Amino acid sequence: MVQVPAPLSEIKNLNSVADLAAMAIALIRKAGCEYGDIRLCSYRYQNLRARDHSLELLSDNINSGFGVRVLLNGAWGFAASPHKTPEEIVRIVDKAVEIAKGSRLSQKNRVQLVPVEAYRDNYVTPIEIEPFEIAIAEKAELLLTINDRLLSYSKKGIKKANSFIYLSREEKTFASTEGSLIEQTLYRSYAGYNCTAVANGDVQSRSYERAPLNLGYENVNAQDLLSQIERVAEEAIEKVKAPKGKYGCSTLILKPTNLWLTIHESVGHPTELDRVLGYEANFAGTSFATPDKLRKLRYAAPWINFKCDRTQPGGRATVGYDDEGVKSQEWYVVKDGILVDYLTDRETAYRIGRGSSNGCSFADSWGSIPIVRIPNLGLEPGAEGGSNTATLEEMIADTEDGILIDGIGSYSIDQQRRNFQFGGDAFWKIKKGKIVGMLKDIVYHSMTTDFWNSVDAIAPASELQQWGTNMCGKGEPMQIAQMTHACVPVRVRNIEIGVAS
């Protein structure tokens, strides 16, 4: 058993978060670990969901605890507890050290970490409206109003309505043996709805969302949600009566509401360095983008740049520091179409000879060990005046025969993230430069590099939108992460189209 060192036992208030962190760090050092850190966290999650005329879910949970990670003789040990007490800190540090000793027995390669600067800092997500100061009744009322208005189109075919508001505040204190003490408070908000139309023996839905972002209640924006109801209901009704797409090749124009998921699956996950190095293979496998291809692989057309940015205002992965205390930063993974970098934590960065980590370490809870996660990873807008730069309107006007896609649908991707298939939420036929009506049940297939090399038009910065996800699953046991894939509309040529069953 590790004992509390004498100087710390004299600390008067051992229940303050900073003191508990200091105590853990002293214990980790005393155990002879080359590295260790502790994350003390407190979360509040409030979720509301309405189905038709009833509130289907209302949960308001507070959840807190801490996790200790140690590196001993090149092997990781991790342990966690919901009880933030001095006694539990002693027990959990001891457990993490024991696990590290056990891990060492089956380990092939010692873990080494790239250096990181020590920070003492406090980061809080900038928000306008504290989400937990708005009454739950007001939130429930909004969802029921949305559903009532959607269902007022029942005579025209709308038979189901669903709406949701998800809010969170996560407070965490990170301390490491390297001298960091970082406090962060992260706010997240997300709201939206969908409705389902039934007609002619078919069922189709249409959705509208406020993108999941790191903002306060201002992102819920009741006025905007309500203002889109008529359009969304009418489009669901038109969609259910629309003809199905036909198999073949087509020109696609993809809105940011659809493109973000294609970026997520075909650029985000394949450049996670743990996947690239074969340390992670859950949830659609490893990656084709191996280090021998770095600075050589033509991932995309020369006018395509994918940039990571954990400092982007509102981004769902925007933080002050990652879960290893690495400061948020910006970097390219694909520059002028070439694969130039990866998404790293301190361990994987060392394995490819990088001098530092770019800060993609994230754990979804105090009880989870941090792993490499996709940060905010966006498609840079087309260069001002560039020969391939065109607005969405110009792309449509310049397309003889094509399909415009909005929103996301089904998706799948192979074990190396080479071949993929994506659906959408709404599809419009383009003929001779004009939208001529809706289609339904369309999926597009391609190979990652073929697809991104077939982009022939990209919209300018004025059309940039911050779409992303609050539900990216990775790891075993699964951890959930969130990230934004800010992007602009693009046009892609000669893409294979299928019909969704």
Q: Residue 424 CB, nearest distance to Zn ion (Å)?
A: 18
Under the binding rule (CB under 5 A), the answer on residue 259 touching Zn ion is no
d(CA 13, CA 181): 18
For the chain, the first-to-last Cα distance in angstroms comes to: 60
Under the binding rule (CB under 5 A), the answer on residue 360 touching Zn ion is no
Nearer to Zn ion by C-beta: 184 or 482?
A: 482
User: Which of positions 395-414 make contact with Zn ion (CB under 5 A)?
Assistant: none
Under the binding rule (CB under 5 A), the answer on residue 372 touching Zn ion is no
Nearer to Zn ion by C-beta: 142 or 377?
A: 377
Place of tokens 């600075």: 295
Q: Do strands 401-406 and 248-254 pair parallel, antiparallel, or not at all (unpaired)?
A: parallel
SS (H, E, C) 353-394: CCCCCCCCEECCCCCCCCEECCCCEEECCCCCCCCCECCHHH
Under the binding rule (CB under 5 A), the answer on residue 442 touching Zn ion is no
Part in contact with Zn ion (CB under 5 A); list of ranges 61-69, 182-190, 412-420, 470-478: 470-478
CB-neighbour burial class of residue 332 (10 A; exposed 0-12, middle 13-18, buried 19+): middle
Under the binding rule (CB under 5 A), the answer on residue 267 touching Zn ion is no
User: Which of positions 137-176 make contact with Zn ion (CB under 5 A)?
Assistant: none
Q: Residue 69 CB, nearest distance to Zn ion (Å)?
A: 23
DSSP of 42-54: EEEEEEEEEETTE
Q: Which residues have CB under 8 Å from 219's CB, separation 6+?
A: 189, 190, 191, 210, 211, 213, 314
- Please, what is the Cα angle at 218 between 213 and 223, to 5 degrees? 115
Under the binding rule (CB under 5 A), the answer on residue 458 touching Zn ion is no
Report the residue number whose CB is nearest to Zn ion: 472
Nearer to Zn ion by C-beta: 48 or 472?
A: 472
d(CA 244, CA 256): 23
d(CA 476, CA 132): 32
Binding-site size for Zn ion (CB under 5 A) equals: 1
Nearer to Zn ion by C-beta: 265 or 322?
A: 265
In the DSSP assignment, the letter for residue 293 is G
Part in contact with Zn ion (CB under 5 A); list of ranges 5-13, 223-231, 317-325, 466-474: 466-474
Provide the β-strand partners of residue 362: 371
User: What are the tokens at 167?
Assistant: 């809010």
Q: Residue 457 CB, nearest distance to Zn ion (Å)?
A: 27
Nearer to Zn ion by C-beta: 80 or 472?
A: 472
Q: Residue 408 CB, nearest distance to Zn ion (Å)?
A: 12
Nearer to Zn ion by C-beta: 262 or 312?
A: 262
Part in contact with Zn ion (CB under 5 A); list of ranges 214-222, 331-339, 412-420, 469-477: 469-477
Among 355, 344, 456, smallest CA distance to 398 is for 456
Under the binding rule (CB under 5 A), the answer on residue 263 touching Zn ion is no
Q: Using CB under 5 A, which of 75, 472, 486, 497 touches Zn ion?
A: 472
Under the binding rule (CB under 5 A), the answer on residue 343 touching Zn ion is no
Q: Residue 372 CB, nearest distance to Zn ion (Å)?
A: 12
- The residues binding Zn ion (CB under 5 A) are 472
